[in-house]
């Protein structure tokens, strides 16, 4: 004789999509360590005689003025280039802006002269009315 055990009839589980969560990451700041030599650091004795410090600077170009007998130093190329750019920009700005400023000046002068004339007329009227 066998015992019949009832088995439940369960529905199949719902198929849920799996979400993969990546672990968080962070950018950790890093730096290169700065090596500072000690204050009493000196070169080894063998190398002291071998090293020769050369601090020769190239001579600056100069021009001799014959009448005055003077050596005039000439500017370097960088200085000349910078001065040229500045001069060209200043001339171009002045040339282009002058007509605009002239128009503004004329209109402003006309406007102010009109206001002054009205003020003079009002003052004259007040003076005439006060005398009567």
What is the full DSSP assignment across 89-126?
HHHHHHHHHHHHHHHHHHHHHHHHHHHHHHHHHHHHHH
pLDDT tens by residue, 55-103: 677 777 788 887 788 888 888 888 899 999 999 999 999 999 999 999 9
Q: Is there a domain that residue 61 lies in?
A: no
pLDDT greater than 70 at residue 54 = no
By residue range, what is the domain housing residue 112? Answer: 98-132
pLDDT at residue 119, rounded to an integer = 93
Residue 102 inside a domain? The answer is yes
Per-residue model confidence (pLDDT) at position 53? 61
Q: How many domains does the chain have?
A: 1
φ and ψ at 65, to 5 degrees?
A: -95, 115
Q: What mean pLDDT do residues 40-49 have?
A: 71
Q: Is 124 domain-assigned?
A: yes
For residue 103, being part of any structural domain is answered with yes
Q: Give a yes or no: residue 115 inside a domain.
A: yes
Residue 126 lies in a domain: yes
d(CA 132, CA 130): 6
């Amino acid at each position: 004789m066998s015992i019949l055990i009832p088995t439940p009839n369960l529905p199949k589980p719902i198929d849920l999509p799996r979400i993969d969560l990546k672990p968080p990451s962070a950018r950790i700041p890093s730096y290169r360590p700065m090596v500072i030599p000690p204050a009493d650091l000196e070169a080894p004795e063998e190398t002291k005689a071998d090293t020769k410090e050369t601090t020769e600077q190239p001579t600056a170009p100069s021009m001799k003025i014959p009448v005055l007998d003077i050596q005039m130093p000439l500017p370097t190329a960088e200085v000349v280039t910078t001065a040229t750019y500045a001069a060209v920009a200043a001339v171009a700005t002045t040339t282009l802006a002058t007509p605009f400023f002239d128009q503004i000046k004329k209109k402003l002068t006309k406007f102010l002269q009109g206001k002054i004339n009205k003020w003079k007329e009002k003052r004259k009227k007040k003076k005439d009315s006060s005398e009567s």
